[in-house]
Structure 1
Amino acid sequence: MDLKILLVEDDAQFAEAMAEELRGFDHSVTVAADGSAALSAVDSDSFDAVVLDRMLPKVDGIAVLERLRRSDMTVPVIMLSALGRSVEKVEGLEAGADDYVVKPIAASELNARLHAMVRGRRWTAGGGDTLQAGDIVVSPTRFRAWRAGVALDLGKLEFKLLAEFVANADTVLSRAMLVERVWGYDFAPTTNIVDVHVRHLRMKLTAAGGDDPIVTMRGVGYMMRS
């Protein structure tokens, strides 16, 4: 899978070396040296993925991410940073990153993560581009969802959470499973992040007066009825 990648990195030597190695995997790589240049590049071109340094001049990586997600840009983003504490990972992921990688990282590992991330975004099921549970339909490829034919206005994480529920309808998903599959954490968050997002998702699913399709399994997690 050849990808069109935006690499955002202010360390010119590192950026040049990483871009060259990624091109060795047959990817097309555009380099931006700061946050402002990154936002301009995304506005003027389309990319399969963004590799985004966290500590950037002009506009830092977190601010870049937040602006992208506020603009409903769903381009997959790997945040690359020398900051590797759990709280910093959580901040990056909650800002909208699909993955968070601590420097240094080998180009081969970054390439594998890019493939896995983009593969997940392009995933389809049953030979079509939609999944369904009851009156809820999700299109993973188009990042759209409907209930009873009415489009749902969902944030990125709410959409990913709903897609996970629909793909596993009538199956109990523990909080740990949801944290791993939706947020991509390889550690247990210290907040009730899953419960908060499930609550927001429930509100949107029932806004038109429909029944709540998500069942709370006390002490375990959640399940969506089909």
Structure 2
Amino acid sequence: MKADILVIEDEQKIARVLEIELEYEGYTVTKAHDGAEGMDLFRSKSWDLVLLDVMLPSMSGTDVLKRIRKGDTATPVIMLTAKDNVEDKVTGLDLGANDYVTKPFDFEELLARIRAALRFKPADETGEPGLSLADLKVNESTHEVSRGEDKIDLTAKEFALLVYLLKNKRQVLNREQLLDGVWGYDYYGDTNIVDVYIRYLRNKMDKNYEPKLLHTVRGVGYVLKDPR
């Protein structure tokens, strides 16, 4: 099965060429033309690889990369830049980019870099597709959630919150981190929305099951972990 690639590129012609050429090679491609749209799409599902332009409207590629790496250290990100500047490349690589390609680029070289990045993408610790912790299993592609033999129905936002917690399992996350990771950097509503959705999630996937996986760290935030 070929990889699912997210292209975040504001230059329409370049984005279109990438889409045509990558789809010809058998990849599935989704495009975003600014940083905010790119982050929304990134949060909407699991991606095999991201092609990310450095210079983007609404949010720079560097800021997008920072937000991606807050909750996801596994998805390969290849930065695209018109600047052949060593300092910019070092900054991007230090922030977690897997590779850097300077425009104009040779498409065969870009393909080789994509293949290399995909080849070394870390597998989930279970060795199986999806996310899991104890008897909790989540399939990002089908949006199926289960504990043991029981299927659990979640709303889209509950599912997004659970996925974010699972991708950061065993890490204590405060409200601001959860708002940024699930609701987005431009959310200006009540921060108590996090507590409300944590309660919804706990009632559905934790209340009637053992062990309890979703824990409150008083005065700090929340953590998803197996206490055993």
- TM-score norm. by structure 2 comes to 0.53
Residue aligning to 2:214: none
1:26 pairs with 2:23:
no
Query: Structure 1 CA distance, aligned partners of 2:99 and 2:123?
Result: 17
Instruction: Report the AA paired with residue 101 of structure 2.
Output: V
The Cα of 1:4 is off from its aligned counterpart by 0.6
Q: Deviations over 1:152-176 (max 9, x none)?
A: 97xxxxxxxxxxxxxxxxxxxxxxx
Equivalence map 1:173-188=2 (5 Å): none
**Gapped runs of 5+ residues in structure 1?**
130-150, 154-226
Residue aligning to 1:46: 46
Instruction: Report the AA paired with residue 13 of structure 2.
Output: Q
Residue aligning to 2:110: 110
Change (3 A) 1:101 1:123: same
Residue aligning to 1:71: 71
Q: Deviations over 1:164-214 (max 9, x none)?
A: xxxxxxxxxxxxxxxxxxxxxxxxxxxxxxxxxxxxxxxxxxxxxxxxxxx
The Cα of 1:18 is off from its aligned counterpart by 1.4
Query: Structure 1 CA distance, aligned partners of 2:15 and 2:80?
Result: 12
Instruction: Report the AA paired with residue 12 of structure 1.
Output: Q
Residue aligning to 1:9: 9
- TM-score norm. by structure 1 comes to 0.53
The Cα of 1:35 is off from its aligned counterpart by 0.4
The Cα of 1:121 is off from its aligned counterpart by 1.5
Instruction: Work out the percentage of aligned pairs sharing the same amino acid.
Output: 40
Query: Structure 1 CA distance, aligned partners of 2:121 and 2:104?
Result: 25
Residue aligning to 2:99: 99
Q: SS of 1:101's equivalent?
A: strand
Equivalence map 1:1-226=2 (5 Å): 2-122=2-122
Q: Is the 8 A contact 1:8 1:50 kept in 2?
A: yes
The Cα of 1:25 is off from its aligned counterpart by 0.4
Q: SS of 1:105's equivalent?
A: coil
Instruction: Report the AA paired with residue 37 of structure 2.
Output: A
The Cα of 1:72 is off from its aligned counterpart by 3.1
Q: Deviations over 1:121-156 (max 9, x none)?
A: 2579xxx96xxxxxxxxxxxxxxxxxxxxx997xxx
Q: Deviations over 1:16-71 (max 9, x none)?
A: 01110111100000000000011000111211000000000000000000011112
Instruction: Report the AA paired with residue 69 of structure 2.
Output: R
Change (3 A) 1:85 1:59: same
Query: Structure 2 CA distance, aligned partners of 1:73 and 1:98?
Result: 10
Q: SS of 1:121's equivalent?
A: coil
Query: Structure 2 CA distance, aligned partners of 1:72 and 1:6?
Result: 15
Query: Structure 2 CA distance, aligned partners of 1:119 and 1:152?
Result: 27
Instruction: Report the AA paired with residue 28 of structure 2.
Output: S
**Gapped runs of 5+ residues in structure 2?**
128-168, 172-228
The Cα of 1:109 is off from its aligned counterpart by 1.6
Q: Is the 8 A contact 1:22 1:107 kept in 2?
A: no
Query: Structure 2 CA distance, aligned partners of 1:41 and 1:100?
Result: 21
The Cα of 1:107 is off from its aligned counterpart by 2.1
After superposition, the CA RMSD in angstroms is: 2.2
